[in-house]
Structure 1
Amino acid sequence: MCKLSLCLLVAIFGCLLAQSLAGVARDADIHRDIVVVKNVRDFAAQHPGLKMQRLEKQPAVRASGQSVRYTLGARVSGDRLVAQGADVYSYPARKDVSLQLTYPESGAGSIVTFVELICTQDNSEGNAYVVAGGIGQRFISIVVEAKQTENFAYQAQYFGSD
């Protein structure tokens, strides 16, 4: 079930990424192509004009593995929690994990002010990059990478204002 959830999640977020990179108007009735980002470096090489922004990374050790906190932006007066999501994945062997998270899942959201991702994995190796949208915009798409892990979980919180 976790692999199916990951595939569906990546497909949905890929639709939003493809649409935003193509400059298509944000309308829920528009057909969107699916782009799955398996390797962020390959993705960047295929899109030479893309400006990726790395999220700030703060590793911490926990009893159940490594916890990595990624943040982008800052809380501002009047902003609020506009979306959150979480999931847990287990793999039979260590592998590199790549996950794309997008706010909002469809349509236009609030103006993004702050994003916090907390990932729990077997080690602290990995990164998170904004690949579309960003702070001050009404959408954001982030690719999270975790290296050589059997267990991966994330919690994402998006803060915004109208």
Structure 2
Amino acid sequence: MCKLSLFLLLAIFGCLVAESLAGVARDADVHRDIIVVKNVRDFVAQHPGLKLQRMVKQPAARATTRSLSVRYTLGARINGDRLVAQGADVFHYQARKDVSLQITYPESGAGSIVTFVELICTQDNNEGNAYVVAGGIGQRFISIVLEAKQTDDFAYQAQYFGSD
């Protein structure tokens, strides 16, 4: 009985921690349409007046003998902010290709006020960019398009920091 109680207590604590880390206000009335951007230049041409914000790209570091790690940042850590969400994914392609991927915080609803975003991309070369296409620093959501050129392996890790 004692082991079962401990297990249930840990499960409840884990749920509370996971919910607090997500930082998402669960308001059913807040909806946002997400548009998948296949080519940033085409997207800009279709939306006159749109101003993309390019994320700061830091020099690539060798991740493995075959791949590089490229770091993109936006904003700055501030007193009292915290990690509110993170995400990651890995892709492998049969042949080298241009990769474009849109990531969004939060996936739905409204999250914490975004203060800092860090993206670490692992790819075959240093060619690529990251652009904010919606939301941003000081807002409760952000949508970013990641681009990598001529790669057959692509992975990313995203960390979003924010405050209430």
**TM-score relative to the length of structure 1:** 0.80
Which residue of structure 1 lines up, in the alignment, with residue 91 of structure 2? 89
Q: For 1:63 and 1:78, locate their aligned partners in 2 and report how far apart those are by CA, in whole Å.
A: 32
Which residue of structure 1 lines up, in the alignment, with residue 44 of structure 2? 44
Superposition pairs for residues 12-161 of structure 1, below 5 Å? 28-29=28-29, 33=33, 35-64=35-64, 65-161=67-163
Q: What displacement does 1:126 show?
A: 0.3
Structure 1 SS opposite 2:103: strand
Spell out, residue by residue over 1:102-145, the C-alpha distance to the aligned partner (whole angstroms, 9 max, x if none).
00011100000000000000001000000000000000000000
**TM-score relative to the length of structure 2:** 0.79
Cα RMSD, aligned residues only? 1.7
Equivalent pairs counted in the alignment come to 137
Q: For 1:32 and 1:156, locate their aligned partners in 2 and report how far apart those are by CA, in whole Å.
A: 20
Any conservation in 2 of the 1:59–1:66 contact (CA below 8 Å)?
A: no
Q: For 2:31 and 2:126, locate their aligned partners in 1 and report how far apart those are by CA, in whole Å.
A: 37
Bigger Rg, structure 1 or 2: 2
Q: What displacement does 1:63 show?
A: 4.4
Structure 1 SS opposite 2:59: strand
Aligned AA (1:121) = Q
Gaps of 5+ in 1: 1-26
Give the percent of matched residue pairs that are identical in Structure 1 and Structure 2.
85
